[in-house]
Chains A and B, each alone.
Chain A
Amino acid sequence: MPTDVEHWKDELYGTEIRAEIERFAGEGWESIPDDERDAWFERFKWFGLYHQRAGQESYFMLRIGPPSGVLEPGQFRRLVELADEFSRGPAENPEFGNGWLDVTTRQAIQLHWIRLEDVPELFDRLEEVGLSTVQACGDSWRNIVGCPVAGKDKHEHVDAGALATELNETFKQNEAHSNLPRKWKVSVTGCDEGCGQGDINDLSFEPAEKELDGEMVTGYNVRVGGGLSRNEPRFARDIDVFATPEQAVDVAGGLSALFRDHGDRENRYNARMKFLVDEWGPEKIRETLQAEYVDFDLETAGDDLRESYSYNAGDADGKHDHVGVHEQVDGNFYVGLNVLVGRIGVDDAYEIADAAEEYASGEVRLTQRQNIILTDVPDENLDALLEETVFEEYSPDPHPFQRGSIACTGTEFCSLSIVETKNRQVRYARWLKENVDLPDGVEDFHIHLSGCTASCAQPQIADVSLRGMKTRKNGDPVEALDIGLGGGLGENPQFASWVAERVPADEVPGAIANLLENFAAARDGTESFREFVLERDDEELADLIEPEETDYDDPYLHNTKRTWYPYAEDDDLEASPAPARADGTPIPSDD
């Protein structure tokens, strides 16, 4: 039997939702009929609007997805202004204050505490500068990720930016592709470093070359069915297809249509492309694509560049992220800045926007490691740019523990989460920086923290993977983390293996400290951490972790899930000011 969600989508979905959002916004939150809320909140996602968790009713998260994370001059400033004006909650966050932007692992921006009543104005002011929230959430083409420095990068082999833009223009607000069985995540990589992270997407284009009619052509190899969620991580599988840049849009459309027609609409847990690829195998996907969804002969795969992939790869030489000062093909520089757990307070964000405009082109680009990049800095402006005080915190040369940290949304706003994430990760990074020395020569060390198995922070592809759990400590339930080791992308990607389970969250920094000490002692020469893990079985690794309490203090050990906001003075669900009217006054409940 099709699910409720499928039923609602059949009734009304896609571009038509816009008018309904405007109507409800005009009449106020209370105008959404009580018995239609589930349906409307599901539909709103298609326009990037996601109802926040229990205790925060009537407040929304708004996601803006620029393809490949490219924000044109003026767009970043506009996002900062909107965050400043509209993204303010009823309580402060002790690490980040009130009013900020979140840079996400899929190169999007998220604003929280958004009022439905403000959404039409938000849409208008985003559109004014060419930004959009369309299909940022919901069952369709999500933000297309890819090389954020496309067009400027010395490592580029094929113009991934052009393809990402073309895919975005073709498949956003495209009736035939707007109602898929589930989310559809697409990645386009053009460089030899693999920074599009194609392996964890539903559809991945990766640079390749192939001789066609006696001529060497650069284009893309195609993989499908990657993804990390639900304890069922998969790397995208090679379907042995090479697409020229001209063919790539048709191949993408064919695969999206194949998923639309054959994905599982009866069971949302089984609906992702990765499960269809499991069921059919890559050969049948290719055969069906050829027979039913494209009208030209597919080429077999070309020669790829995977051997040199270094992005988030753990052991490879080469760049693991975009942080730092790097020369562009045109002789200007791009400056990759570290944003700890992806969150930028509005005051800092204004300063960053000012600096981008004063010393560079004003363009800001977002990376899949929750960082930002200022592009087009002329040589003569570099020193002055880097002297701006805001770049002490958002540094192009951060400490490895800060540089390597990624954290998802967590219990602050997400209904799936088991634990608090972002503030905790900030505190972990701070403690590790002050208390732990990295072994010789280790300059990159990635720690990713996800609040649940949906894996938004991509925990399985980090040196140390942390995933929300609970445990009992001295008789009381406390927030805890599972610890996994040795994941990473690269030529031969590897998911972390979960070697320690349910470690109380206040013992995790001690565990990482002990682990690194044990690694330094037992490591073979200059062996990388990922190699070290690969050499050992899970039991051996578990022995190296040794969780323990330290002077690290964790203020979020109690059940942050059972609060209306984990940092509020009175955090009890009963004390929630939500739902509230547009001006913030609580709406009394009628029962």
Chain B
Amino acid sequence: MSIALRTLDDGAWISVNDSRQVSVSDVWTLTTGTFCDCSPAYVLLEAFVDVDVDGSIVVAHAVGQCLECGTRDSIERLPVGRIVNDDFYPYDPEDVQWLVEPDGERP
């Protein structure tokens, strides 16, 4: 089965196989230096712009703001969950996330 991935309702959430899986407006924890200088950076996601799959990892293109320093920027490749045997397993926003490099490797 192929995976249907899309953002909906103006970037309010990421839909995986027609079910709402990842919601905007949550605070994600990002490692140092990936978004701003804060360590770690607590970033409020304000909208999902796009979503893609990189191997088995679902990566979002989002816009967010750091809660400490106020930096507002886009996040190109935020891993939001994994697909295993056609099922989606979302990551917990509170666990530290790395940004996925375009070649699929984690730094």
Residues of A within 8 A of B (CB): 4, 34-38, 42, 54, 230, 268-269, 415-418, 452-454, 468-472, 477, 501-502, 559, 561-562, 591
Contact B10 A37 (CB under 8 A): no
Q: Mark B30-51, 1 if CB is under 8 A from A, else 0.
A: 0000000000001010110100
Tell me, yes or no, whether B96 is within 8 Å of chain A by CB: no
Are B8 and A35 in contact, CB atoms less than 8 angstroms apart?
Answer: no
Expressed in whole angstroms, the Cα–Cα distance for A36 and B19 within the complex equals: 10
| Interface contact A561-B70, CB-CB below 8 Å | no
Instruction: Give the contact stretch, choosing among B20-28, B52-60, B75-83, B99-107.
Output: B20-28
A38→B15 contact, CB < 8 A? yes
CB nearest neighbor in B for A57: B20
Cα–Cα, bound, A4→B26 (Å): 24
- B83 CB → nearest A CB, Å: 14
Contact of A34 among B6, B18, B20, B46 (CB under 8 A): B18
User: What residues of B have a CB within 8 angstroms of the CB of A452 in the complex?
Assistant: 25, 46
Residues of chain B having any CB pair with chain A under 8 Å: 4, 6, 8-13, 15, 17-20, 23-27, 42, 44, 46-47, 49, 65, 67-68, 70, 87
Q: When the two chains form the complex, which single residue of A42, A230, A417, A471 contacts B25, counting CB atoms closer than 8 Å?
A: A417
User: Which one, B11, B68, B70, contacts A472 given CB within 8 A?
Assistant: B68
Q: Measured between C-beta atoms, what is the minimum distance from A94 to chain B in Å?
A: 23
Give A40's nearest chain B residue, CB to CB: B18
B12 / chain A contacts, CB cutoff of 8 Å: 415-416
Known A-B contacts A35-B17, A415-B12, A472-B67; A4 and B6 likewise in contact (beta carbons under 8 Å): yes
Collect the chain B residues with CB atoms within 8 Å of residue A418's CB: 25, 44
A281 to B24, CA, bound (A): 33
Give the CA-CA distance A152 to B12 in the complex, in Å: 42
- Residue of B18, B44, B87 touching A470 (CB-CB under 8 A): B44
15 more contacts with CB within 8 A, not counting A416-B24, A472-B68, are: A34-B17, A34-B18, A34-B19, A35-B18, A36-B18, A468-B25, A469-B65, A470-B67, A471-B67, A472-B67, A501-B70, A559-B26, A561-B25, A562-B26, A591-B87
Return the chain B residue nearest A502 by Cβ. Answer: B67
A500 to chain B, nearest CB (A): 11
Chain A residue with the shortest CB-CB distance to B25? A418
Q: Which of A415, A416, A453, A472 contacts B42 (CB 8 A)?
A: A472
Tell me the complex Cα distance, A230–B11, Å. Answer: 11
Distance between A190 CB and nearest chain B CB, rounded to angstroms: 32
Whole-angstrom CA separation of A591 from B11 in the bound complex = 26
Given known A-B contacts A415-B20, A453-B46, A472-B68, A38 and B25 have beta carbons under 8 A apart = no
What is the CA–CA distance of A430 and B25 in the complex, to the nearest angstrom?
A: 28
Chain A proximity of B31: nearest CB distance (Å): 17
Alpha-carbon distance A470/B8, docked complex (angstroms): 22
Chosen A-B contacts, 28 in total, with CB atoms closer than 8 Å, are A35-B4, A35-B18, A37-B19, A38-B4, A38-B6, A38-B8, A38-B15, A38-B18, A54-B13, A54-B20, A268-B10, A269-B10, A416-B9, A416-B10, A416-B11, A416-B12, A416-B24, A452-B46, A454-B10, A469-B44, A470-B44, A471-B67, A472-B42, A472-B67, A472-B68, A477-B27, A502-B70, A591-B87
